[in-house]
Structure 1
Amino acid sequence: MKLAHLFTLVSILFFSICNAQLKTDEVLFTVANEPVYVSEFLRVYNKNLDLVKDESQRNVDEYLKLFTTYKLKLKEAKTQQLHEKASYKTELESYQKQLAKSFMKDTKVTDALLEEAYQRISYDVNANHILIKLPENANPSDTLAVYNKLVNWRQTALKNGFETVMKQKHDGKNVYGEALGYFSGFKMVYSFENAAFNTPVGEISMPFRTRFGYHIIQVLDKRKSRGERTVAHIMVTDKKGDTLNNSEERIHEIYNKFKQGEAFETLAKQFSDDKNSAVNGGEMAPFTSGQLNAPEFEKVAFELENIGDVSEPLKSAYGWHIVKLIDKKLTPSFEDVKTDLLAKVKRDDRSKLIDDALYNNLKKQYNVTQNTEAIAYFASILNENYFKRSWKLPETFKANATLFTIADTTFTYSSFGNYLLKKQQGRIIKKPLNAFVKEHYNTFLNETLVAYKEEHLEFENEDYAHVLSEYRDGLLLFDLMENTIWNASKTDSVAIKQFYQNHKDNYKTPQQIDAVVASASKQKTLKKVAKLLNKGVAVNTIKSQLNTNGNTNVIFTTAVIDANDALLPKNIPFKEGISKVYAHNDAYVLVQINKVLPQTHQLFEEAKGNVISDYQTFKENNWVNTLKQKYPIHVNQAVLKNVKSIIKNKS
């Protein structure tokens, strides 16, 4: 899918809803005599005020330049008939289906499921269960036999204990008796989750069905969930080129400095290899149990009891860590997890409830009438050949009989008959014929309802129509830019290399230094380091002299780095020798510069990514100029003046 790239490309122009209409829809400008109206410009401009970050794009004249350039490109795309491409039509159809779903959802049902889901993730349930496996297509007699068996086992469990029955009946083949431990919402299939959360503690449920078979469940305990933790950490990994420390030695040095009284946040800024969190004193984004792919880290994080508690060094798959507890919550707020919950609801069996609500609403909206004799008729003409994939419609098939009507459209037996023939070639779960036909009829009716809604939604919902129309244009623009500009690295290799030669001074490596960086919490410690370095004392000897009695007073790092490296203070002069002592990251640093590595021209392969990007910009600017010649633009200045007045008055 091109969707993510497309949204980036046209975010400045898309997803607008009409919120400013003129009484008269005047022409603002023309592109090759094709009009573009004020209403469209204002609609897009007003909506995108909240999206653009570049202040210049809020200027009407600057925004008009962007908009006219967009229209130029769109005109060229249509001239090239990109909208006739099969790939374009397929992409558009796929997006249309996605978009339609968001406009057809039943918010009441969804909101109720979200509230239920939030309650479920707020608690953990500890349970045992017994499962008798049963195929989804089991016949009614087998289903009843399994159900009755579990009713009897439940009675025995009430007398003799659930665990006793669980152990006796478990065979690991058709019957499973298991202690499940604690689990929360979304950890089990929805029907099982319902039984677990709806059964009181200490009680045993009645038999219930999942896709695996029939179960009974004993609920042992319910508790508040472990909730959410916010921690800070200092992470150390082995570094290439650092011959002074391995990660384990370094983390213990840092831990010693913490025990000596240095601030955790300061140490994180100086030494943590997790650069994303280091700038914030090591603080990470909040997480819940099971969210991190580092069980050792998570275990320690949840074991810290009091805000401010700090762990001893621990090892994970990512390196060595020291962890500090910043905050803990039993559960995140509903608003914080609402988006995530919605995604989960749509992925599991709960989504069927949302779908059923949609189907019922569509039946009411379109006044659906159904032929009550249809299911019995199709059950009568279906036979065992269907499950052998050799069934055919009989010669006496009532093809033109009415199956159902949606609004003013009639669907006949023929449509459902062809649907059954098509499904015969796919996966078939054998069931009694009447149940089989009823299931497929309901599926066919629901799919037809959704397709009918999608086909008419553009005429029923103005917001949907705007978004879909803009996506149509945006997809054309994406294909045009991809073919004309973005694939330049494949088609313009000679021109790109020539562009590099012509602009070689734009592609240089940054100036770097080969250095030893000494970090300490006290300025006087680094003054001692400077004296010893000036005397030519080796770094390892200095470490042994200053880090005594189990105290870590100074940490050294050897590296080849540039001026932007977090180890270095800003504006440090790059000249060989020993620097002065700088205050940096709430501590002090001293830098011994062994060698200054000058800027050099990057080889083409080294600079290739930046060269291609710059070349594409250069090529696009030239191309747009040719489009302006090909499709002349004429702006109605009087109308533009009125547009500016309207915008000014609204602001």
Structure 2
Amino acid sequence: MTFRTASAILFSVLVLTLSGSPVHAQNLDDSEELLSVGGQSVSKDEFIYLMGKGNNENAPGLSRKDFEENLQLFINYKLKVREAEALGLNETPEFTREFEAFKENLKAPYLIKNSLEEGELRKAYSRMQEVIRASHILFQFPPNASAEDSLIVLKMALKVRQEIQSGGDINALAVEYSDDPSVKKNQGDLGYFTSLQMVQPFEDAAYSLNPGEVSEPILTNFGYHIIKVQERKPNPGQVQVSHILVRIDPEKPESEDQAKRKVADIYTEIQKPTTVWEDIVKNFSEDPATSQKGGLLPWFAVGSMIPEFEMAAFSLTESGEVSPPIKTRYGFHILRLEDRKPLDSFDQMEDQIRSRILRESRSSMIQSQVLAIQKSRYGFKENEELVERLINELYQTPKNEFKLKLESLEISPEQELFKIQDTSYPVSDFIDFLGYDEANPKSKNQGNFELWYNRYLSTLLDQQEEQHLESTNKEYQMLLKEYRDGILLFSLMNDQVWQKGIQDSVGQRQFYQQHLDRYQWGERIPVLIVKVLDKEMLASAKNQLEGKNYSESFSEEFIAQSRQDNPMAYKIESGVKELSSHPVLSECKREAGFEELEIEGETYLLLKGEKISAGPKKFEETRGQVIKDYQEFLDENLLESLRSKYAVQINKPAIEEAFVAINQ
């Protein structure tokens, strides 16, 4: 019988609890109560949940016999949890620390933040299936821009957009109007990019456009952007190339012509069939980082290199294919394709995507969405007038001066900041929070009060969400209870069974003496067993063993000599062995001396000592088995005492309902 469940912490312990006589049933009235242990109710749903965790959908239904055995395991488990609670193990600092650590991990998948984050991860990976080539024009705000300045910039962006819509060339207009420093080199052409390579508003706008379409002015931290998508195509994945670089010295006008002639000569040399790429790279490439390793560069994807280099690399299709010379701001390059591979799977990229999302503005966006959902869900009502005043009055006030500033503003500590679920939170609670929160949050867009106020609010709403989870989410409730009870069960078993069984040396010896019949040797014999692997060495081994008497010293000498002279010729074992349980000795004669055996085509040479009669094992020889048996004995005694201590009442109708539910 296999106990069907997935929780290693809980049910590796439960397996040890199946012992003793069954608990007698007594009908209870509540159909949702499966049973009670010492007056504490145990729900039918908990049993069904735990049984279902290890249920293979393709497995046949649970037989009545297996169901009853599993029910007894469950009862044993609940008896032990009841005892752990009675002993106060759920109130110890160790339990609290361990359970809180579990809760942090268990609750994560159920939180609003996790759900939103998962959505952003999936959206980013979905967008990564495509790459976009786009051009843009950036209109920056002047320093310390006023609202009027911002409006002027927006009107200019709209004017230029209209020119593009009327047939104007966005790249020519970018040279004329764009504030992007790179426009002199790229004329506004950004090359190819994919998700998470641009700031979020820019990316959102670009992925909403079809080729040829022009965006409305898009506001980012850099200013307003006008974006025109030139092309969208499937993501080509990653490439690895090696290259040769001939540099251009921007300080010397003649340098470009010299570099162009040199790279042309190198390219001609590469075309010769006898040319070795690595030799050409070593002799002529001016990239010190790669010239001594064949010009090899790390794997890269779209958006990772300067556009000219990247386009040349992705235009190569066959391993070993060499590009014509291309020019970048570093000089002239010749590229050779080493390998290509598709975009990694979501599972492979998940951690990388999450890390990038959490490092950029999307993290703040997710947190803002979480806060908005929590406010709506948990009945948040703000004292808007007071909060707005504090945002303005305490904008630059340091955190440790809030209290004095509030006093100078004659704001009462008892004045309400907001309510959550009809619970009022006054200014004094916020001040107390500042006293124990040692974090150092930073934000470019918020004043000091707003920053700390939002942190305080997030802390309270997160607590509210967790409480809501524990009271309304049945799956989370069950999971939490499973781990809570599993920790208690482990603590009880560790204290009263496992560690006691290991440390109680007096109890171990008493148990050994009382159950000596369990620890008996059969007939044994001291023996040297030589399995001959190399048949050519059979005669040599026989010559060394025939006519000799077994001794431990002779055995050691033979083994040492064999390992030195012919380590692969024999497989050797020696020592005192039980005759009946050993696969070779069970076939041999019982007399001392030399013997040759053939078993299933293998040759064995035996040198045997005098037979040792059957008898009890010494305690030291069997201590490991004694400890195991003693622990089982302690567990049986513990269960027996718990059955006497706590009455178990069973609800027969609920048991039948559980049987049907588990087999559905």
TM-score, length of structure 2 as denominator length: 0.51
Q: Which residue of 1 aligns with 2:606?
A: 593
The DSSP-based 3-state class of the residue aligned with 1:25 is coil
Q: Is the 8 A contact 1:25 1:37 kept in 2?
A: no
Q: Which residue of 1 aligns with 2:481?
A: 469
Partner residue in 2 for 1:361: 370
What secondary structure is seen at the aligned counterpart in 2 of 1:515?
strand
Return the offset for 1:418: 3.8
Write out per-residue CA displacement over residues 169-209 of structure 1, whole angstroms, 9 at most, x where no aligned residue: xxxxxxxx988975569xxxxxxx996389674489xxxxx
User: Which residue number corresponds to residue 62 of structure 1?
Assistant: 69
Q: Secondary structure at the match of 1:578?
A: strand
- Counterpart AA for 2:12: T
Cα separation, 2, equivalents of 1:222 and 1:9:
60
1:464 CA drift (Å): 1.0
Task: Give the counterpart of 2:496 among 472, 484, 487.
Answer: 484
State the 1:495 CA deviation. Answer: 0.9
Match of 1:110 in 2: 118
| Distance (whole Å) between structure 2 residues aligned to residue 112 and residue 118 of structure 1 | 10
Q: How does 1:390-401 map to 2 (within 5 A)?
A: 393-394=404-405, 395-396=407-408, 398=411, 399-400=413-414
Kindly state the Cα deviation for residue 454 of structure 1 after the two structures are TM-superposed. 1.1
Q: Determine which of 502, 514, 518 is the counterpart of 2:528.
A: 514
Q: Which deviates more, 466-475 or 570-579?
A: 570-579
1-structure distance, mates of 2:560, 2:496: 59
**Aligned residue number for residue 316 of structure 1:** none
Q: Computing the radius of gyration over CA atoms, which structure comes out larger, 1 or 2?
A: 2
Give the secondary-structure state (helix, strand or coil) at the position aligned to 2:605. Answer: strand
Is the Cα–Cα contact under 8 Å of residues 403 and 413 in structure 1 kept in the other structure? yes
CA contact (8 A) 2:81 2:488 kept: yes
Counterpart of 1:101 in structure 2 is 108
- Letter aligned with residue 459 of structure 2: E
CA distance, structure 2, for counterparts of residue 355 and residue 601 of structure 1: 72
How far the C-alpha of 1:625 sits from its partner, in A, is 1.0
1:488 deviates by: 0.4
Secondary structure (helix, strand or coil) at the match of 2:12 reads helix
CA distance in 2, matches of 1:443, 1:77: 38
How far does residue 618 in structure 1 lie from its aligned partner after superposition?
0.3
Structure 1's 429 and 543: CA in aligned 2 closer, same or farther, altered over 3 A?
A: closer
The match for 1:45 is 51
Shift of 1:498: 1.6
**Residues 406 and 495 from structure 1, CA distance in 2 versus in 1: closer, same or farther, beyond 3 angstroms?**
same
Q: Secondary structure at the match of 1:381?
A: coil
Partner of 2:326: none
Q: Give the residue type in structure 1 aligned to 2:640.
A: N
> 1:95: how far off?
2.2
Q: What are the equivalent positions in structure 2 for 1:266-285 lying under 5 Å apart?
A: none
Instruction: Check conservation: 2:501, 2:634, Cα contact below 8 A.
Output: no
Distance across 1 between alignment mates of 2:334 and 2:101: 47
Task: Report if the CA contact (8 A) 1:114-1:345 is conserved.
Answer: no
**Counterpart of 1:515 in structure 2: which amino acid?**
I
Q: Distance in 2 between matches of 1:68 and 1:4?
A: 18
Partners of 1:490 and 1:543 lie apart in 2 by 39
Instruction: State the distance in 1 between where 2:289 and 2:433 align.
Output: 42
Could you tell me which runs of 5 or more consecutive residues in structure 2 were left unpaired when the two chains were aligned: 1-6, 18-28, 130-143, 145-179, 187-244, 251-287, 313-328, 546-557
Q: Which of 628, 634, 643 pairs up with 1:613?
A: 628
> Quick one: distance in 1 between partners of 2:184 and 2:603?
74
TM-superposition CA deviations, 1:69-95 (whole Å, max 9, x none): 122222222322333334333333332
1:448 is matched with which residue: 421, 441, 460?
460
- SS for the counterpart of 1:196 is coil
Indicate the residue corresponding to 2:548 in structure 1.
Answer: none
For the 8 Å contact 1:563–1:570, the answer to whether it is kept is no
Please state how far the C-alpha of 1:617 moved relative to its aligned partner. Answer: 1.0
Is 1:82 aligned to 2:103, yes or no?
no
Query: In structure 1, the residue corresponding to 2:304 is in which secondary structure?
Result: helix
Instruction: Tell me if 1:377 matches 2:393.
Output: yes
Contact persistence 1:72–1:631 (CA under 8 A): yes
Whether the 8 Å CA contact 2:34–2:650 is kept in 1: the answer is yes
Where in structure 2 are the equivalents of 1:499-538 lying within 5 Å? 499-504=511-516, 506=518, 514-519=528-533, 526=535, 528-536=536-544
Aligned-pair CA distance for 1:447? 3.4
Amino acid at match of 1:9: V
- Structure 1 residues without counterparts, runs of 5 or longer: 14-22, 122-139, 141-149, 167-176, 186-192, 205-215, 227-329, 521-525, 584-588
For residue 379 of structure 1, what is the amino acid of its counterpart?
Answer: Y
Matched residue SS, 1:517: strand
Secondary structure at the aligned position of 2:598 is classed as coil
Per-residue displacement from partner, 1:211-231 (whole Å, max 9, x unpaired)? xxxxx99999898989xxxxx
Contact 2:36/2:648, CA 8 A, preserved across alignment:
yes
Question: C-alpha distance in 2, partners of 1:514/1:87?
Answer: 53
2:374–2:461 Cα contact (<8 Å) kept: no
- Measure, in 1, the Cα distance between the counterparts of 2:249 and 2:392: 44
Matched, 1:31 2:37: yes
- How many Å separate the matches in 1 of 2:497 and 2:564? 60
2:133 paired residue number: none
Compute the displacement of 1:569 (Å): 8.2
2:598 matches 1:580: yes
Are residue 624 (structure 1) and residue 624 (structure 2) matched? no
